[in-house]
Amino acid sequence: MNYLDVLKSTKNVMTPGSSACQGCGGELITRRVMQIAGENSVYAIPPGCMAGAGVDGWNFSNGCSAPIHITLLDNTASFMSGVSEMYQRRGRTDVNIVAIAGDGATADCGFQSLSGAAERGTKMLYICYDNEGYMNTGYQRSSTTSLGSSTSTTPAGAAINGKEQQQKYLPLIMAMHEVEYCAAASPSNMPDLVRKIQKGLEAGKRGFAYLHVFSPCPTGWKFAPDQSIEVGKKAVASNMFPIWEKENGQFKVTVNRNPISVAEFVKGIGKFSKLTADEIDAIQEMVDRRYQTLLHLAGE
């Protein structure tokens, strides 16, 4: 069944309306995950953009038609480990255990519990929508924020020229936990994203599955809302966000034979508007090195 048939034949579990920003990558990702996982699932969303957008409810109204919990910023994976164990003990192995969290709650505050759940092989699917910052509270930098990004805590100015460190590459860190399934995806390639969500749900019945999804943010990154998919395409095309998966111990990389440059990717994105030529070169060097590492792991 192709991805269009999958989407046509599944129910929209998330409420038709939300208070997410126009063009929000995280909203599209969350909606697709819930649509494919369905109502026979238990979801967790920590504080962040999707919790703030009302996916887990407003006041006493639920934001989706399946059980959903708002966890703490740092305990999503451990919380859902307990939920998973409870369902396993009751013999309810058909229920999907799904966590959906931003990069702050994943790479920073929640990394300890995430790493622990991955190491234990807890049966669940954990999805990170990576918009490279704490967007729900005004765009503070996170460890996945790209070098030179102007954020509210790393403003480009006289003292510093945006974030001074390269981003943490969390997907590969998670792959090294030897989890059941690990993949990187983008909403700009919906067939690939749908397939990886399906694989992640299947793998999550056998052990820990992790999906890291690029989540362009028009509000924080300062680009037009109708450009979100285009930004996602350029991120993949430039290898700023390569898409790949690790399944049955084998890496598979979607190979870019003629990648565009980092300089081309950052054009028109406000958070990168103050990048210097040296910073662009440093990002390009990091991107090339990381991509070669992935190709080497895949045997390309």
**What is the C-alpha to C-alpha distance for residues 94 and 96, in angstroms, rounded to an integer?**
7
**Contact yes or no for 197/33 (Cβ under 8 A):** yes
Give the position of tokens 């890496």: 251
Percent of the chain with pLDDT over 70: 100
Cα 197 vs. chain centroid, distance in angstroms? 12
Q: What is the pLDDT of residue 267?
A: 96
Domain 3-298 classified CATH 3.40.50.970? Answer: yes
The per-residue pLDDT for range 136-173, each reduced to its tens digit, is 999 999 999 999 999 999 999 999 999 999 999 999 99
pTM of the entire predicted model: 0.96
Q: What is the pLDDT of residue 265?
A: 98
**What is the C-alpha to C-alpha distance for residues 167 and 143, in angstroms, rounded to an integer?**
6
Domain boundaries, the chain: 3-298
| Cα end-to-end span (Å), the chain | 29
Q: Say how many C-beta atoms besides its own lie within 10 A of residue 8's C-beta.
A: 9
The lowest-confidence range among 8-22, 160-174, 227-241, 251-265 is 8-22
